[in-house]
């Protein structure tokens, strides 16, 4: 998939000014076709028009800024487009809903050519195709500095099926899909290669055997499949979030909003082999990467204890602990039986990066 | 209103890092209360949840970047917040709908303090109060450079009442609310004062007698009142847009999408006295400001000829011309009877400013 995304045609450079703002939007969106019945009117008017009938409407939004959320030295624009869309879909799945439409607003400096934006849009379009989502509008304007991408995703859900963060109950099982920490390790790997070989042209970085880490960082997927499996088995989680800021941070959100505590077990936290090898190589704490790394876009959810067997039968889901009374706090039990209090480190970009 | 908005408390400076990302969002949104029945769940989960029942859902979005869309040397943050919200409401009214919810995403550099963001949010909140709109979510992150504001507005409309850009018919009357060109003149005035007195402290710029121009630039309103009046009189326009990029540009959009031409009359274009005086002082073409100035946020719409008397009876609406066959092109008839072809100059920020 990564290779497929990398097939870029970088020969031509058309200046954006040659198309103008409206011309550019027309050019980038000319292949957009409507896929969902709920999309009555997409691009081309003051607002898009949607018909959700008896369904509830879910809305989520993200603003991604160059230098803060992404680094174009190692992120291809097509991947960036794909990821920007997918992380929004992930928020809708985390409500137990289905993403249906997105709007995309771009702020672009003249460093970017029309072909660059075609790549970005190709990634967004691919994500829309894979997840069956309609691109219904947006806004394109100049930016004095880097690239700014603002995406809003609209989705649908049945009222009785929506899962909030505040429904976790004492003794509920805490579940996680997939594995954690790989996206963070992928980022460390990209950052290292960038630093070590800065300025050296035609350099092939040492990514072999680490494709999974790169894919998790550069081209994450939203867990549509898990939502589908849960629905098929009539399991409605009591609380759910997607893991974008790290397991610790998200779990604390659920505990805070549900007025509960929690216990999770270090040995139960799912971690991929490549993540572990990389942490070793970097001499970093593996469990810290899994707890606080972020950008995993896996689902974190709680289910009643009675669902234990149903959940255990689900491939790709790990039960990592249980919800407790609020007075017991939020702790991880380490392999040697010690209790470590969970902290919301996450990606606090407002502190770290500025 | 301008004076009221200007009462800022600029004594205190709290660093954003002292609150952290989640702390900041909590702090800025703690007074947010839900006003609309359609808002089931606002801030605080992966996505907001809305219930639109049998109504259609309208979605519009805008990305505003410092240095491109606003200049903080002369735009107070509270005004900026107010305007950022209102311009999105305007897009929903332009569909003949009612704005109900907004999401607000901010990218902020450390130049800004918590108090600055409180001002920005105070402006957004004031706009939400005045227009009865709920703030339902968003995203706050660091920015390496200036301020980035991304707003998505969601609104509702009855299916049979939605007005698109593509419904104008031959012989329809072309109507405009309010007056045009004042916001553009307000911008020229602010730019002049900024240039002339750059660096001079305690300078009081020469704004007296030009309050209307400044208000149009700094604190525009969306024409909710016109939408209400049209509904009261059972008038559903055949096509409608809000004028953000200038009359010429918007009219050409309607003609293109409706496959028509148009004739408008210079002498019919509504212009305020202060706008005319300012154009004279600046030695600028008044009609160019009215045609291409932009940021008026007035409504441009077409109605069947049969509605002539109904429309004429409406205060604040001017009939400026009529829709023609497409072969006749899009022209303005000047005061001396010449025909000038309309061009979409608008605010092509991708060409001009970068």
CA distance B235 to chain A (A): 19
- Identify whether B194 is part of a domain: yes
Q: Please check the confidence at residue A261 and state whether its pLDDT lies above 50.
A: yes
Judge whether B123 is annotated as a binding position: no
CB A82 within 8 A of CB A20: no
**Tens-place pLDDT, residues B267-317:** 999 999 999 999 999 999 999 999 999 899 999 999 999 999 999 999 999
Cβ–Cβ below 8 Å for B150 and A97: no
Burial label for A51, CB within 10 Å (0-12, 13-18, 19+), is middle
* Percent of chain B residues topping a pLDDT of 70: 92
Q: Are residues B275 and B154 in the same domain?
A: no
For tokens 């991304």, what's the residue?
B150
Question: A residues 260-319 near B, CB within 8 Å?
Answer: none
Q: Please check the confidence at residue A4 and state whether its pLDDT lies above 60.
A: no
Judge whether A21 is annotated as a binding position: no
Q: Are residues A155 and A270 in the same domain?
A: no
Q: Are residues B233 and B153 in the same domain?
A: no
Q: CATH no. for residue A80?
A: 3.30.1330.10
> Which chain B residues are Cβ-neighbours of A94 within 8 angstroms?
46-47
pLDDT number for residue A36: 87
> Which chain B residues are Cβ-neighbours of A91 within 8 angstroms?
46-47
Which of B12-21, B30-39, B53-62 shows the lowest mean pLDDT across its residues? B12-21
Q: How far is CA B127 from CA A352, B82, B86, B106, B121, in A?
A: 33, 5, 6, 17, 10
CB pairs under 8 A between A and B: 237
* Percent of chain B residues topping a pLDDT of 90: 70
Q: CATH no. for residue B317?
A: 3.90.650.10
Q: Please check the confidence at residue A42 and state whether its pLDDT lies above 90.
A: no
- Identify whether B168 is part of a domain: no
Q: Are residues A177 and A250 in the same domain?
A: yes
> Which chain A residues are Cβ-neighbours of B41 within 8 angstroms?
164
CA pair distance B259, B253, nearest whole angstrom: 10
- Identify whether A8 is part of a domain: yes
Q: Are residues B188 and B102 in the same domain?
A: no
Domain closes at, from B161, B196, B224: B161
> Which chain A residues are Cβ-neighbours of B160 within 8 angstroms?
none
Q: Are residues B115 and B28 in the same domain?
A: yes
Mean local confidence (pLDDT), B34-46: 86
Q: Are residues A152 and A177 in the same domain?
A: no
Question: B residues 50-69 near A, CB within 8 Å?
Answer: 50-54, 56-63, 65-69
CA pair distance B199, B205, nearest whole angstrom: 13
pLDDT confidence tier of residue B254, bands split at 50, 70 and 90: very high
CA pair distance B206, B228, nearest whole angstrom: 37
CA distance A54 to chain B (A): 5
Higher pLDDT, B292 or A33: B292
Cβ–Cβ below 8 Å for A46 and B94: yes
User: Residue B196 belongs to what domain range?
Assistant: 173-352
Structure tokens belonging to residue B147 = 């301020």
For tokens 């397991």, what's the residue?
A247
CA dihedral A317, A320, A324, A326 (to 10 degrees): -100
pLDDT number for residue A203: 67
- Identify whether A198 is part of a domain: yes
pLDDT confidence tier of residue A351, bands split at 50, 70 and 90: very low
How many structural domains is chain B composed of?
2
pLDDT number for residue A26: 81
CA pair distance B229, B231, nearest whole angstrom: 5
Mean local confidence (pLDDT), A205-228: 92
The string of DSSP codes covering B107-129 is EE-TTS-HHHHHHHHHHHHHHHH
Judge whether A134 is annotated as a binding position: no
pLDDT number for residue B316: 94
Question: A residues 116-175 near B, CB within 8 Å?
Answer: 136-146, 148, 150, 152-155, 157, 159, 162, 164-165
Identify the residue among B111, B350, B351, B353 best suited for mutation to test binding to A, counting A beta carbons within 10 A and taking the highest.
B350
- Interface check for B48 against chain A (CB to CB < 8 A): the answer is yes
Cβ–Cβ below 8 Å for B354 and A143: yes
Cβ–Cβ below 8 Å for B46 and A21: no
pLDDT number for residue A11: 57
> Which chain B residues are Cβ-neighbours of A62 within 8 angstroms?
105, 139
Q: Please check the confidence at residue B1 and state whether its pLDDT lies above 90.
A: no
Those residues whose C-beta lies under 8 Å from the C-beta of residue A24, and which sit 6 or more positions away, are: A16, A114, A117, A140, B350
Question: A residues 225-244 near B, CB within 8 Å?
Answer: 240-242
Q: Are residues A252 and A134 in the same domain?
A: no
Cβ–Cβ below 8 Å for B138 and A61: yes
- Identify whether A260 is part of a domain: yes
Q: Please check the confidence at residue B67 and state whether its pLDDT lies above 70.
A: yes
> Which chain B residues are Cβ-neighbours of A257 within 8 angstroms?
44
CA distance A319 to chain B (A): 22
> Strand A173-177 to strand A317-324: parallel, antiparallel, or no bridges (unpaired)?
antiparallel
- Identify whether A167 is part of a domain: no
Judge whether B260 is annotated as a binding position: no
pLDDT number for residue B250: 95
Q: Are residues A92 and A125 in the same domain?
A: yes
pLDDT number for residue B199: 65
pLDDT confidence tier of residue A199, bands split at 50, 70 and 90: low
Cβ–Cβ below 8 Å for A91 and B242: no
Query: Helix, strand, or coil here: A238?
Result: coil
Cβ–Cβ below 8 Å for B142 and A97: no
> Would you give the end-to-end CA distance of chain B in angstroms?
34
Structure tokens belonging to residue A42 = 């997409």
Name the residue among B24, B45, B346 with its Cβ closest to that of A165. B45
- Identify whether A354 is part of a domain: no
Burial label for B31, CB within 10 Å (0-12, 13-18, 19+), is exposed
Query: Helix, strand, or coil here: A39?
Result: strand
> Which chain A residues are Cβ-neighbours of B92 within 8 angstroms?
46-47
Identify the residue among A36, A37, A57, A114 best suited for mutation to test binding to B, counting B beta carbons within 10 A and taking the highest.
A57
Cβ–Cβ below 8 Å for B21 and A349: yes
Mean local confidence (pLDDT), A318-329: 98
Mean local confidence (pLDDT), A15-41: 82
pLDDT number for residue B34: 87
Cβ–Cβ below 8 Å for B56 and A65: no
Q: How many CB atoms lie within 10 A of CB B329?
A: 14
Cβ–Cβ below 8 Å for B348 and A21: yes
Angle at B90 between CA B319 and CA A91, to 5 degrees: 150
- Identify whether B116 is part of a domain: yes
Q: Are residues B341 and B286 in the same domain?
A: yes
pLDDT number for residue B200: 66
> Which chain B residues are Cβ-neighbours of A145 within 8 angstroms?
144-146
Cβ–Cβ below 8 Å for B63 and A105: yes
Higher pLDDT, A259 or B209: A259
Q: Are residues B148 and B264 in the same domain?
A: no
Judge whether A347 is annotated as a binding position: yes
Q: What is the ipTM of this complex?
A: 0.88
Q: How many CB atoms lie within 10 A of CB B286?
A: 20
> Which chain B residues are Cβ-neighbours of A153 within 8 angstroms?
47
pLDDT number for residue A127: 97
Cβ–Cβ below 8 Å for B57 and A49: yes
CB A265 within 8 A of CB A284: no
Identify the residue among A151, A344, A350, A354 best suited for mutation to test binding to B, counting B beta carbons within 10 A and taking the highest.
A350
CA distance B277 to chain A (A): 32
Mean local confidence (pLDDT), A110-132: 93
Question: A residues 67-96 near B, CB within 8 Å?
Answer: 67-69, 91-92, 94-95
Domain closes at, from B161, B192, B214: B161
Judge whether B210 is annotated as a binding position: no
Domain closes at, from A161, A183, A208: A161
Q: Are residues B223 and B274 in the same domain?
A: yes
Q: Please check the confidence at residue B148 and state whether its pLDDT lies above 70.
A: yes
Average pLDDT over chain B reads 89
Which of A217-226, A241-250, B141-150, B231-240 shows the lowest mean pLDDT across its residues? B141-150
CA distance B18 to chain A (A): 8
Mean local confidence (pLDDT), A34-61: 88
């Amino acid at each position: 998939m990564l290779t497929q995304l990398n097939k870029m045609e970088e020969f031509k450079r058309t200046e954006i000014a040659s198309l103008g703002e409206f011309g550019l939007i027309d050019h980038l969106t000319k292949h957009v076709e409507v896929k969902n019945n709920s999309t009555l009117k997409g691009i081309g008017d003051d607002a898009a028009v949607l018909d959700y009938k008896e369904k509830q409407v879910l809305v989520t939004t993200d603003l991604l800024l160059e230098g803060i959320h992404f680094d174009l030295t190692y992120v291809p624009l097509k991947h960036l487009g794909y990821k920007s869309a997918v992380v929004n879909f992930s928020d809708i799945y985390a409500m137990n809903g289905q993403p249906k439409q997105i709007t995309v607003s771009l702020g672009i400096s003249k460093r970017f050519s029309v072909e660059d934006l075609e790549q970005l849009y190709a990634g967004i379009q691919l994500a829309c195709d894979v997840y069956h989502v309609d691109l219904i509008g947006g806004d394109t304007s100049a930016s004095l500095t880097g690239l700014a991408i603002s995406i809003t995703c609209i989705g649908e859900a049945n009222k009785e099926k929506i899962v909030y963060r505040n429904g976790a109950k004492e003794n509920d099982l805490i579940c996680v899909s997939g594995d954690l920490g790989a996206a963070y390790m992928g980022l460390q790997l990209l950052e290292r290669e960038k630093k070590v070989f800065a300025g050296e042209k035609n350099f092939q970085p040492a990514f072999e055997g680490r494709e999974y880490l790169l894919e998790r960082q550069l081209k994450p997927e939203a867990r549509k499949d898990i939502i589908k499996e849960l629905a098929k088995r009539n399991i409605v989680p009591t609380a759910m979030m997607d893991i974008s800021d790290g397991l610790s941070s998200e779990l604390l959100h659920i505990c805070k909003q549900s007025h509960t505590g929690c216990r999770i077990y270090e040995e139960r936290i799912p971690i991929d082999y490549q993540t572990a090898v990389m942490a070793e190589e970097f001499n970093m704490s593996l469990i810290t990467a899994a707890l606080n790394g972020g950008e995993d876009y896996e689902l974190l959810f709680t289910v009643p204890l009675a669902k234990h067997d149903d959940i255990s039968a689900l491939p790709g889901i790990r039960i990592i602990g249980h919800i407790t009374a609020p007075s017991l706090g939020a702790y991880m039990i380490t392999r040697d039986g010690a209790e470590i209090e969970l902290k919301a480190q996450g990606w606090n970009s407002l502190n770290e990066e500025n």
